[in-house]
Amino acid sequence: MAQARPGDAPLIHDLIGIGFGPSNVAMAIALSEHNARVGREEAVTAHFFEQQPRFGWHRGMLIDDATMQVSFLKDLVTLRNPASEYSFLCYLQSKGRLIDFINHKNLFPLRVEFHDYFEWAADKVDDMVSYGHEVVGVMPVVRDGAVEYLDVTVRSGEGLAVHRARNLVIGTGLRPLMPEGVERTDRVWHNSELLAKVDGLEGTSPSRFIVVGAGQSAAENVAYLHRRFPRAEVCAVFSRYGYSPADDSSFANRIFDPAAVDEFFTAPENVKRRLMDYHGNTNYSVVDIDLIDDLYRQMYQEKVVGTERLRFLNVSRLTGVKDTPDKVRATVTSLVTGEETLLDADVVVFATGYSPADPVGLLGEVADRCLRDDEGRVRVERDYRIATDPDLRCGIYLQGGTEHTHGITSSLLSNTAIRVGEILDSLLDRGLEPASGKARTVADGTGSTAR
Ligand SMILES: Cc1cc2nc3c(=O)[nH]c(=O)nc-3n(C[C@H](O)[C@H](O)[C@H](O)COP(=O)(O)OP(=O)(O)OC[C@H]3O[C@@H](n4cnc5c(N)ncnc54)[C@H](O)[C@@H]3O)c2cc1C
């Protein structure tokens, strides 16, 4: 990217993106396709910062046989532009697998394959991203009492640098969620780090794993550890009676449609809540039925042959976890009888979910200009722009963290292609910097960063 020399006025971007996961890769593609269509004057200048050293999508959970929970047609582009050269089908063609994929008759590719697709797409727009760059803060640039620009502080191997933008798009994704009071250790993991941690067990012979949780990730962890360590017992602990299947039936699936975002956005608060209650089981705390069947089949087979390694401690809660010199001691409490069982394990994996990264956490004093609803949640407009006081002239767009306003697709891939198109339209409607075309210096240099 263009760099300001020391002493230069900062370069101004129409848009700075924070994070370069699938949401912002899709954003970069939408921008790139737009810029290829229009002249220099109408081109949007943008740059993205990603803290990881290279593209990575939930690498810790790239279990070799895990599949996507979304149709490949909901890739980074197709719903917005079915003719895009960044589609999953174009990726398959470039890899020489298009015909093999078609013969497979499968809408849900392997997760490792979709990761490869994301990486391929991210590579095609890599002139728009700096990897190994973590955004650590945002400061308002005030002119005549109004916030005209935002200064984004970025930390990299070269130290701190400040980049100026008219708009931000925050796509910082999800954070692993541990139960309150439980710290991660060498033996206490969150499933998000599964594969890296498992590699660290190479050369040891663990005898027991405990996996806490009843969602898709928990079930995948149980199946994977059971397969990978053929001499170890795997205990699944959850408060439900059994795993519940994900509702992926056609009518329910419409909750992920672009039109559902419009309806959810305009619905009254009590209807929003009801919709989440009705259809939370399309996504939350549910498991693919095929995986449920596989686990049950495995458990039953072990019962028959008398080699039980797969144990399900249902209607139970893990109420204590303590590292001992060479194990971890877990207390499992039955919710039926209150009886406590002590289990010594080599590892406890918490598959206890994720929460969206706090969307305004990075905004510093700019966050004070973001409007909140009655419940203290950030208010977001239909175009994914945070509602702010009128003196903030910049747009701060959210990709994620909008479930309370835009519905269940907020943290998912289903609507990404459409969402980035809507954000782009909003940017264009609101107008770009004059002489747009590439990052450029501030003409009069009068911008001051409020401290
Ligand atoms: C194991 C797993 C499987 C999933 N499978 C599916 C699926 O099949 N279908 C589906 O629809 N959804 C799925 N999801 C949901 C998931 O949220 C989306 O797939 C997707 O990751 C959303 O993309 P994103 O870009 O918004 O967020 P992320 O993929 O989380 O990307 C955010 C990026 O921002 C970077 N970042 C964060 N903070 C900073 C900062 N301060 N500075 C710079 N960079 C930063 C992070 O390093 C990260 O690369 C899955 C989630 C998990 C955990």
Q: Report the DSSP beta bridge partners of residue 328.
A: 323, 345
Domain assignment present for 445:
no
Say if ligand 1 is within 6 A of residue 407 CB.
Answer: no
Range with lowest mean pLDDT among 240-244, 270-274, 353-357: 353-357
3-class state of residue 287 by DSSP: strand
Whether 195 is in the pocket of ligand 1, judged by its Cβ within 6 Å, is: no
Q: Is residue 425 part of a domain?
A: yes
Going from the Cα of 412 to the center of ligand 1, the distance in angstroms, rounded, reads 8
Residue identified by tokens 């067990």 is 201
Our answer on whether the CB atom of 22 is closer than 6 Å to any ligand 1 atom is yes
Ligand 1 pocket test: pick from 16, 23, 128, 363 the residue with the most ligand atoms within 8 Å of its Cβ: 23
3-state secondary structure of 165: strand
User: Whose CA is closest to atom 12 on ligand 1?
Assistant: 412
Rounded Cα distance between 337 and 316, Å, is 10
- Ligand 1 in reach of 172 Cβ (< 6 A): yes
129-164 pLDDT, tens digit each: 999 999 999 999 999 999 999 999 999 999 999 999
pLDDT band at 448 (very low <50, low <70, confident <90, very high): very low
The number of folded domains in the chain is 3
Q: Do 41 and 140 fall within a single domain?
A: yes
Of ligand 1's listed atoms, the one at least distance from the Cα of 220 is: 1
Q: Based on the domain organization, do 207 and 230 belong to the same domain? A: yes
Residues 29, 145 within the same domain:
yes
Residue 275 domain flag: yes
In a domain, 5, yes or no: no
- Residue 127 maps to which CATH number? 3.50.50.60
Residue 23 Cα to ligand 1 middle (Å): 8
Residue nearest to atom 15 of ligand 1 (CA): 412
Query: Is pLDDT of 110 > 50?
Result: yes
Q: In whole angstroms, how far apart are CA 226 and each of 112, 222, 235, 316, 443? A: 20, 6, 10, 20, 63
| Residue 16 in tokens | 């700075």
Residue 208 sits in the same domain as residue 85: no
Say whether both 96 and 239 belong to one domain.
Answer: no
- At CA 124, angle to CA 57 and CA 91, rounded to 5? 75
Q: What is the pLDDT of residue 11?
A: 81
> Tens digit of pLDDT for each residue in 185-195?
999 999 999 99
Query: Average pLDDT for residues 79-97, to the nearest whole number?
Result: 98
Q: Which of 353, 371, 394 is the last residue of a domain?
A: 353
Q: What is the pLDDT of residue 9?
A: 56
Domain that holds residue 270: 252-282
Indicate if 201 and 168 belong to the same structural domain. Answer: no
Q: How many CB atoms lie within 10 A of CB 95?
A: 14
Tell me the per-residue pLDDT of 261-320, one tens digit each, with 9 for 90 and over: 999 999 999 999 999 999 999 999 999 999 999 999 999 999 999 999 999 999 999 999
Mean pLDDT for the chain?
93
Q: Are 139 and 362 in contact (CB under 8 A)?
A: no
> Three-state SS for 143?
strand
Q: What is the pLDDT confidence band of residue 440, given thresholds at 50, 70 and 90?
A: very low
The Cα–Cα gap between 297 and 308 comes to: 12
Which atom number of ligand 1 is nearest to the Cα of residue 136? 41
Ligand 1 neighbour 414 (Cβ under 6 A): yes
Atom 41 of ligand 1: nearest residue by CA position: 135
Q: Ligand 1, residues 18, 58, 287: which to mutate, most atoms within 8 A of Cβ?
A: 58
Same domain, 277 and 182: no
> Which residue has the CA at smallest separation from atom 28 of ligand 1?
173
Predicted confidence at residue 1, as pLDDT, reads 59
Domain contains 6: no
User: What is the structure's pLDDT at 356?
Assistant: 86
- 51 CB under 6 A from ligand 1? yes
Kindly state if the Cβ of 58 falls inside 6 Å of ligand 1: yes
Asked whether residue 140 falls in the same domain as residue 264, the answer is: no
* Local structure of 314: helix, strand or coil: coil
Q: Is residue 225 part of a domain?
A: yes
Q: How far does the centroid of ligand 1 lie from the alpha carbon of residue 36, in Å?
A: 27
Is residue 326 domain-shared with residue 365, that is, in the same domain?
Answer: no
Q: What is the Cα–Cα distance from 304 to 306, expressed in whole angstroms? A: 6
Q: What local confidence, expressed as pLDDT, does residue 359 receive?
A: 78
Predicted confidence at residue 434, as pLDDT, reads 64
- The predicted pLDDT at position 432 comes to 82
Answer yes or no: is pLDDT of 6 > 80.
no
Q: Which amino acid is at 355?
A: S
Is the pLDDT at 436 greater than 60? The verdict is: no
> What is the per-residue pLDDT across 171-208, written as a single tens digit (0 to 9) for each?
999 999 999 999 999 999 999 999 999 999 999 999 99
Average pLDDT (229-245) is 98
Q: Are 305 and 257 within one domain?
A: no
Band (pLDDT 50/70/90 cuts) for residue 33 is: very high
Q: Which residues pair with 170 in a beta bridge?
A: 18, 398
Give the list of residues 6+ apart from residue 379 with CB closer than 8 angstroms, or none: 370, 371, 372, 373, 386, 387, 405
What is the C-alpha separation between 247 and 186, in angstroms, rounded? 35
Calculate how far, in angstroms, residue 404's C-alpha sits from the geometric centre of ligand 1: 18
Percent of the chain with pLDDT over 90: 90
Domain boundary among 235, 262, 282: 282
pLDDT of residue 442: 37
- Residues 92, 31 share a domain: yes
| Residue 152 shares a structural domain with residue 38 | yes
Ligand 1 contacts CB of residue 397 (under 6 A): no
Would residue 1 count as lying in a domain? no
Residue with tokens 């009068």: 446
Query: Among residues 111, 171, 178, 172, which one has the least CA distance to residue 353?
Result: 178
Task: Decide which of 318, 336, 353 is a domain's last residue.
Answer: 353
- Residue 4, in any domain of the structure: no
pLDDT tier for residue 439 given thresholds of 50, 70 and 90:
low
Q: Is the predicted pLDDT of residue 358 greater than 90, yes or no?
A: no
